[in-house]
Amino acid sequence: MDQFWFYFNLGLHHVLDINAYDHVLFLIALTVPYTFKDWKHVLLLVTIFTVGHTLSLFLSVFGIVNVSVSFIEFLIPVTILITALLNIFTAGKGPRKEKLGILFFITLFFGLIHGLGFSNYFRQIIADQESKALPLIEFALGIETAQIIVVMVVLLFSFIVQSIFRFNKKDWMLITSSMVIGIIIPMLLETYPF
């Protein structure tokens, strides 16, 4: 049971770590177009992201994939930028409620990239474990829980801003996505590998 809590907490803190805010920025950009009535859709997106994240960790831990860390560290803010730009270009154009549309495949791909960013560290942590699959699952549960917490906070904050302060959804998407872009641009410049 101690092992479960160790890896679960590692996943939880991987997302909620104040010093590693890139994951939270991605979740903000992913969630801001939605409201509480879209919770199933958002939960599916977040779960698809976790699946991608876990799959890339799995491929890395078992030595199937090995990617340059500097390139991945650059691609992570690129995924956040693309998600925020998608919000800006689609703000006010109606809800995104496709069942398995392009957004789901993009989210899965972005999950793969984000997972590769953590893969070297995670591989070192579980190097001496007999079973590597179980820690991966426990870590993924922590990630999923943390992501749901972030999504619920974003949805609640969006509800307050749109209901009490009377921001319309389009303006809220534009403002929030622009703030995410403003925060992510310095990260892009710092991690530019070329």
Task: Name the phi and psi angles at 43, rounded to 5.
Answer: -60, -40
How many C-beta neighbours within 10 Å does residue 159 have?
Answer: 12
pLDDT at 96: 59
pTM, entire model: 0.93
Residue 89 exposed, middle or buried by CB count within 10 Å (0-12, 13-18, 19+): exposed
What is the C-alpha to C-alpha distance for residues 137 and 169, in angstroms, rounded to an integer?
36
For residues 107-131, give the mean pLDDT: 91
What is the C-alpha to C-alpha distance for residues 9 and 147, in angstroms, rounded to an integer?
13
For residues 114-126, give the mean pLDDT: 91
pLDDT band, residue 120 (cuts 50/70/90): confident
**Residue 158: closest CA among 80, 23, 22, 42:** 42
C-alpha pair distances (Å), 143 with each of 24, 34, 45, 149, 159? 11, 21, 13, 10, 24
Contact 181, 81 (CB under 8 A): yes
Give the tokens for residue 98. Answer: 């496709």
User: In this model, does residue 144 exceed pLDDT 80?
Assistant: yes
What is the C-alpha to C-alpha distance for residues 190 and 16, in angstroms, rounded to an integer?
22
Mean pLDDT of the chain: 92
User: In this model, does residue 161 exceed pLDDT 60?
Assistant: yes
**Residue 188: closest CA among 81, 29, 102:** 81
Contact 11, 140 (CB under 8 A): yes
Write down the residue that tokens 């876990």 correspond to: 54
For residues 29-37, give the mean pLDDT: 94
User: In this model, does residue 194 exceed pLDDT 90?
Assistant: no
Contact 34, 15 (CB under 8 A): no
